[in-house]
Each structure stands twice: as C-alpha cells, then as structure tokens.
Structure 1
Amino acid sequence: MRIMISADMEGATGVTWTADVEVGTEQWQRFRKMFTGDVNACVAGLFAGGATDVLVNEAHSSQRNILLEDLDTRARMLTGRHKPLSMMQGIDSGVDGVVFLGYHAAAGLDGVLSHTYLPNQITGVWLDGVRASEGRLNSALAAEHGVPVLLVTGDDLTCADAREYDPEAQAVAVKECVSRYAAICIPPAVTATMITDAARVGMKRAGRFAGSAGGHRIEVEFDAAHLAAAAAVVPTVELLDVRRVGFDAASMTDAMKAFKVVTAIASGAVEGSYG
C-alpha cells in the first residue's frame, strides 16, 4: 500500500502563533522539530497498519520545513515549491490513501491560525456553495482520483471540519482552540502516540476506489476590492462583487490549479501594510 502525507504546519503539535510557522524565526526552528515529530509519528502508524511506501509532501509555505535528517528512514519526502498540485502533489500517482497532517480551519472561521491558502487576505472560500477549508478542497481533489482520506490532524475545530467533509476519516486533535493565536496544547510525547494509533487504524480504509469525475465551482472572497479586481483579470474568473470572484472548472484538478493562480495573483497585488 502506497500512502501520501500532505503535511501542513499550522495544525502541528504546539503551534499557536505566526512566528511558529514563519520561515527563519527562532520559533520556526523550534517547531520544525515538533512538526517533523508529528510526521514521524504518522509514518510509524502507517507502516504498522500495512503501508509499504510513504511519500511526505511538504505543504507549508516554503515547503522546506521538515527536517530531512530527522525523518523516519522508511519515508520519502517531496520538498520545495512550485508543484503543479501544491499541497496535493502526488495524489495522481496511484497512491492508496492520503493523510492531512497539521491542517487547520478555514479562512473566516474560528481556529488556530485559520486561513485558506493565503495567511490573511482571503476571508472565505466556497466549493460548490459550501464554505471550504483546505481540507475540504483537498478531500474533493483526492476523491476525484479515487484516494481515501485516512487521517486528519490539527486543532479540535479542524477535526470537526473533517467530520463534515469526510466522517469516515480518523481525526486527531493535537490542541484545543482558544482563539486564533491561543490553544490548550498537548505535549508531543502524547500527541505522537495519538497520531501513530490513528494512522494505524486509518490504514484499514486504504485502497483506491472509483474516482468522482465532474465539474466544480469555486468562489473566493478577499478582504480588499483591489485583490478581487486583480484576480478577475484571469480568463474564466468572474468578478461577482466588489471583493468576491468565482469560476467554474471541468474537474477538481482544474479547479485547484485555477485556484492556485487566483491566490498567486492576489498575493502579488498586496501592497505594504495596507494590504
């Protein structure tokens, strides 16, 4: 069984603050170790449950956060940016299951470091009319390729979100949200056991199924009018309101590629402290 881990950082053990996940800070260096520990705990559980190959796709920011020298030697790691499917690169390679590790709640909702792709400028994303976290978006992409979600880890609100878009996936809350920048955290020695046990159980669900083909619609709301106007320059992207754009795509794969373009253009339109 070949399994992929899509590894984000905001939902990792102990993370509660921007500096915990911002490349180059002292806090980031500290939490890289905890992040790598969460990944290793998951890898251990997957192999205990019958995995024969585990690919870890770095999915946070620079996508160069996990410490390769400390990674479980049974795993392989896809690191670095500018991957066509970004957080989900490798989902189309014939894997039998995927883990969403270190995920977080959606933009515009409560949750530790909640956001959707951009850290601050997006106030909401909707997939086919339903407000969507990165987990919901990535779950739809996995379903298109016939890949089950085995496990989701993050704060308690991330787990509640996962139960809505994929109630059969295992879920591990490594912290309890108090606010966007505060949480009740569990020590890594404890969360490691929780993650390993859930990953092992999650492997019972591994195995490809018939993919769900079909078109999708994504709408994105920004916190400023000029970001929506910048995104609407993209062909097929429609300006729906002063801060909202939308587009249709023939498949979820195409939808996520278009979404990546929209977020990249909007990010490039941010100007200084005014956004």
Structure 2
Amino acid sequence: MQVYISADMEGVTGLVGAQDVQAGGRDYPHGRVMMTEDVNAAVRGALAAGATRVLVNDAHSTMRNLLADQTHPEAELVRGKPKRMGMLEGLDGDFGAVLCVGYHSRAGALGVLSHSYMGHEIEDMWLDDRPMGEIGFAHATAAALGVPVVMLSGDDAACDEMTAWDARVVTAPVKYATDRFSARLRPAAEARKAIEEAAAEGVRRADSRSRPPRTEAAATLAVRWQSATVASQLEAIPGVGLRDSRTVEVAGAVPQLYRLFGVFMRVATALTDQQPYC
C-alpha cells in the first residue's frame, strides 16, 4: 500500500506559540526538529504496517520546514511552494491511506494555534454549509479522490475535530490545549510512540475498510474573510459569488474547490499582508 502523509506544524509535539512555528521565530529551528521527528514516527508506523511507499508533503507555511537530511530515509519528501494542491500536493487515487501529522483545530476553536489556513484573515469556512477548517477540507478532498484519511496527530482539540468528521480515523493527541498558546504536553518520547502506533493502526485498518468512492459530485465552498476587500476581489473569479460583503461561495467538485481555494489565499495574501496569530 502507498501511504501519503500531510505534515503541518502547529499540532507537532511540544509546540505552542508563533515563535515555534514561524520562520525567523526564536524557537523555529527547534520546531523544525520536533516536526521532523513527529513525521518520522508516522513513517515508521506506516512502514511497520506494510506500507510499500511513503510520500511526505511538507504542508506548513513556506513548506520548507522539514529537515530533508533528517527525514526518514525510506520516505519521499515534497518540499517548497507554490503547490497547486497545497497541503495535499501529490495525493491521487494510487494511495491507499492519508495520514495527517501535526494538524490543528479550525478558526474559533479553543485549540493550540487554532486557525483556518490564514491566521485571523479567515473567520470561518463551510463545505455544503458544514463548518470546517483544514482538517475537514483535507478529509473531504481525500475522500473525493477515493483515499481515506486513517490517522491524525495534533492537540486534543484537533483530534476531537477529526473524530467529529470521521470517527473511524485513529487519532494521537500529543498535547492538551489549556488555551490558544498554551498546552499540557505529553513527554516527547511518549507522544512519538503514540504517533507511531496510531499510524500503524490506521494503515492496518485501511486494508480492511472500504475506500470512499471517487467522486466529481458538486459541493459548495463558502469562506468568510475578515476583510470585505478580499471578498470583493475574489468575486471577479468566474463562478465565485457573494453571500454577504465578506463571504464568498463557489460550487464545484471538491478537489477543484481545494485547488481554487489556494488561489483565494494567494489573492488574500497579496491584498492583506497579514501576520498569522496576531
């Protein structure tokens, strides 16, 4: 079985603040080590469960966070940007399972470094009127491609969010949120053991559970922005309409919506130059 790993950073073992996860932050070099070790734990688990190939996508911010020379030698790494499919670059129906490592809860949740893609710039998101963030969008997109998400690691809020989307996903909480920038941490060795075991269990379960049917069925994505400027500019994209002055919506197959949302973010970044987590 081919296994795909999407690796974010906010939900990594030990990390709780912007200085841990943003390039230039005081503790960012250490955060990169911690992220690499969490990913390596997931790779070990996938291989132990019989994975024949593991592809890791560095999915955080600049997408140049994982230490390539310290990443598990049996894993392939997709690094850098731009990526047409962003956090799911390289995922297709040839894979049998998706693992989400280091993920975080959506905007508005009381989770460690909670947000939806762009710090405070995105206030909320919906898929067919169901509130979602990065976890829900990744799950829905992978499912539309015919690949199940089988494992997630992050804080307890992220794990609970994943369970609400799909209770079959094996979760590994590596920290317990006490607020948005603080948490009770599991010891690093214990957390990575939990990641490794959850990855192995998720991959084993993928062998026995039915794959989601690949689908091009239309869905509706809606995004509420902090700035009406962003919404007004996005309305110029064919097919994009306004629900209100700050909320855009567009319909299409979920993988196409996921790719289009990447364009939304590039437009928003150019217009706002916002700083995440402020």
What TM-score does the superposition give when structure 2 sets the normalisation length?
0.94
Residue 250 of structure 2 aligns with which residue? 247
Alpha-carbon distance change, 124 to 91 in structure 1, aligned in 2, over 3 angstroms = same
Match of 1:231 in 2: 234
Aligned ranges for residues 168-247 of structure 1 at < 5 Å? 168-207=168-207, 208-247=211-250
Equivalent positions of 1:125-144 (< 5 A) are 125-144=125-144
Contact 1:178 1:184 in 2 (8 A): yes
Q: 1:271 to 1:34 in 2, by over 3 A?
A: closer
Q: CA deviation at 1:211?
A: 1.5
Shift in Å, 1:261: 1.2
Report the CA distance between 1:187 and its aligned residue. 2.0
Stretch moving more, 3-12 or 235-244 = 235-244
Q: Which SS does the other structure have where 1:50 is aligned?
A: coil
For the Cα contact (< 8 Å) 2:55–2:75, is it kept in 1?
Answer: yes
| Displacement of 1:209 | 4.6
TM superposition outliers: structure 1 runs of 4+ over 6 Å: none
Equivalent positions of 1:151-166 (< 5 A) are: 151-166=151-166
Shift of 1:69: 1.1
| Contact map agreement 1:103 1:158 (CA 8 A) in 2 | yes
**8 Å CA contact retained: 1:152, 1:170:** yes
Matched residue, 1:264: 266
1:37 and 1:188 in contact (8 A); partners too: no
Q: Is the 8 A contact 2:121 2:274 kept in 1?
A: no
Give the TM-score normalised by the residue count of structure 1: 0.95
| Alignment gaps of 5+ in structure 2 | none
Moved more, 13-22 or 199-208: 199-208
For structure 1, list consecutive stretches of 5 or more residues without a partner in the other structure.
Answer: none
For the 8 Å contact 1:9–1:35, the answer to whether it is kept is yes
For residues 28-71 of structure 1, the C-alpha deviation after alignment (integer angstroms, 9 at most, x for no partner) is: 10111110010011111111111111010010011010111111
CA contact (8 A) 2:17 2:182 kept: yes
Q: Tell me how many residue pairs correspond in the alignment.
A: 273
**Separation in 2 of the partners of 1:252 and 1:263?**
17
Query: How far has the Cα of 1:164 moved from its partner?
Result: 1.2
1:159-183 CA-partner distances (Å, limit 9, x unpaired): 1110111110100111111111111
Aligned identity (percent) is 35
Q: Secondary structure at the match of 1:123?
A: strand
Whichever residue aligns with residue 131 of structure 2, its letter is: R
| Preserved contact between residue 230 and residue 269 of structure 1 (Cα < 8 Å) | no
Q: Equivalents in 2 of 1:171, 1:271: separation in Å?
A: 34
Q: Deviations over 1:134-193 (max 9, x none)?
A: 111111111111111110111101011101111101001111111111111112111111
Amino acid at match of 1:185: L
Quote how far apart the aligned CAs of 1:272 are: 6.8
Structure 2 counterpart of 1:267, which letter? T
1:123 aligns with 2:123: yes
Q: 2 CA distance for matches of 1:201 and 1:272?
A: 39
The CA RMSD measured in Å over matched residues stands at: 1.6
Alpha-carbon distance between aligned partners in 2 of 1:186 and 1:196, rounded to the nearest angstrom: 14
Contact 2:107 2:123 in 1 (8 A): yes
